Amino acid sequence: MTKVTVLDGSFSSQVSTHVGKCADGDPLWTARFLVTNPDAVSSAHLDFLRAGSDIIETNTYQASVDGFKKHLGLSEEDSLELIRKAVDLAAQAVKIYKEEIEGHDEAVNRSPLIAGSCGPYGATLHDASEYTGTYAKSVSKDFLKDWHRPRIETLIKAGVDLLAIETVPCAEEAEALVELMKDFPDTKAWLSFSCSNDGKTLVDGSEFRDVALNCWKNAHPGQFIAVGINCVDPHFVTQYLESLRVMPEGKDVPLIVYPNSGEVYVPETKHWKGDDRVQIETYVHQWLDHGVQFIGGCCRVSALEIAKIRGQVETWRSQERETSL
Ligand SMILES: [Zn+2]
């Protein structure tokens, strides 16, 4: 039977329900809560575990040594310590969850994993450039490797099960990360791109299928468990999947998809707008039929919606079971 792994959703949306305010507009985004509201961070992870996530991501998408130095006045060592703390908070939630489900056989996600979230360089620039990738023109691949290395190294040492390399907006940064990961050959990762709402291209204008296939082929063998897209409008996901699947070499690439709610991020106001929220769960069967093996949500997708996605995954699996009998 096909294995499908359910991810978590928008950490930002979920943690805001515990903190009582939204992190949008903060240059550290939710990473600030590692200092100000650690209990809320752990509680948000726990919400996703209770909703059925097989993998939760650490609260490190927008965490960086530069950012912590600049906005929290921390030293390099203390900045790295804060990244370690993010892993501990996720581990704490997993521990609580495992105790909760002891004796409850109905729980479907019995051994959740922790993925270290690695957002792109652009996320820390705080100018929404993870949605344009324009910085690829002004920084080198070596610069990007050096910039990503300390967080990746720290997450691995702190004990994450794998890395979530995500919302990558440009070919250059994806290539840099694939190269960098060769220095950590024992660590698994996924690679997920920030895409335009056109079903074909990354936000920097390059072809998704070309960049994705290139990275897949050049990666250390067996290191990447999936390649795909996140933070895209759900309406366009199937087109992206088909664009890759239509290529002979693209047929066997394990796919990961975790779209946003279909609302639009406005860089000027640093908030999301739109009343066109998409019910992601209505797409789940379609995407699984296209070979998606990892599925979840990105911005504005709460634990409630992850529970609905989990429900659809279970229905799909039981239908698959019936047809194979
Ligand atoms: Zn997102």
CATH code where residue 24 lies: 3.20.20.330
Q: Distances in Å between the alpha carbon of 78 and those of 27, 38, 86, 89, 158?
A: 18, 16, 13, 16, 14
pLDDT single digits (tens) 282-303: 999 999 999 999 999 999 999 9
Instruction: State the pLDDT confidence band at 272, using cuts at 50, 70 and 90.
Output: confident
Q: Can you give the pTM of this predicted structure? A: 0.96
d(CA 275, CA 221): 43
Give the domain extent around 163. Answer: 5-324
DSSP output for 44-61? HHHHHHHHT-SEEE-S-T
DSSP output for 176-238? HHHHHHTTSTT--EEEEEEB-TTSSBBTTSSBHHHHHHHHHHHSPTTTEEEEEEESS-GGGHH
In the DSSP assignment, the letter for residue 325 is -
**24 CA to centre of ligand 1 in angstroms:** 12
**325 CA to centre of ligand 1 in angstroms:** 39
**80 CA to centre of ligand 1 in angstroms:** 24
In the DSSP assignment, the letter for residue 297 is -
* Percentage with pLDDT > 90 across the chain: 83
pLDDT single digits (tens) 163-208: 999 999 999 999 999 999 999 999 999 999 999 989 999 999 999 9
Residue type, 21: K
**238 CA to centre of ligand 1 in angstroms:** 18
pLDDT single digits (tens) 170-182: 999 999 999 999 9
DSSP output for 78-135? HHHHHHHHHHHHHHHHHHHHHHHHTT-TT-S--S-EEEEEE--HHHHHTSSGGGT-GG
**134 CA to centre of ligand 1 in angstroms:** 18
**1 CA to centre of ligand 1 in angstroms:** 30
**218 CA to centre of ligand 1 in angstroms:** 26
d(CA 201, CA 59): 28
Instruction: State the pLDDT confidence band at 279, using cuts at 50, 70 and 90.
Output: very high
**265 CA to centre of ligand 1 in angstroms:** 9
**Structural domain count, the chain:** 1
- Report, as an integer, the average pLDDT of 60-65: 95
